Amino acid sequence: MAGVRPAGAFGGHSDLPISEFKSRLTEAVTYAVPSAATTKRYRRVRVLLVSWLIDDLRVGNEVLRLRDTLQNTYDYACKIFKIPAAGPESPRQALLGNMMELMAGTDADDLLIFYYAGQGVVGRNPGEGPCVFV
């Protein structure tokens, strides 16, 4: 048997060698599903990966693995930001500053991804926004 394939898959050529079957299948898939390199939807993709500096949820490795995947597999520009619990600026100011940096110089052909590794709750107090990062 030359290879496994449906009977008559190539116009009844039951003696098609497996190498030829592989070649034709590869050609058909390449034609049907263009590579990402030739079909980029966005000019640039930037990613901000956010977690807390005090990693009590132990998400640090998750964030690093996601960054590595996005950079190495998809060639996205990534930045990791760890929200400080205290410092010269409030955690909110520090986060907003990094978000503004992410958005700077973008246009309609850019994609921005914000990833938060942590927990959140719906604001319960007057004046709190719709979500509070915890």
CA distances, 15 to each of 22, 25, 29 (Å): 14, 16, 22
- Percent of the chain surpassing pLDDT 90: 43
- Per residue in 83-132, pLDDT tens? 988 878 888 889 999 999 999 999 999 999 999 998 876 667 776 666 55
Q: How many domains does the chain have?
A: 1
Nearest one of 118, 115, 106 to 78, comparing CA atoms: 115
Mean pLDDT score across all residues of the chain: 81
CA quadruple 81, 84, 87, 90: dihedral, nearest 10? 90
Task: Kindly tell me if the per-residue pLDDT of 62 is higher than 90.
Answer: yes
Which residues touch 26 (CB under 8 Å, ≥6 apart)? none
Q: Do the domain assignments include residue 7?
A: no
Q: Which domain holds residue 102?
A: 42-133
Q: Do the domain assignments include residue 5?
A: no
- Percent of the chain surpassing pLDDT 70: 73
Q: Do the domain assignments include residue 31?
A: no
Q: Do the domain assignments include residue 28?
A: no
Task: Kindly tell me if the per-residue pLDDT of 69 is higher than 70.
Answer: yes
pTM of the model: 0.63
Which residues touch 10 (CB under 8 Å, ≥6 apart)? 16, 21, 24
Q: Do the domain assignments include residue 16?
A: no
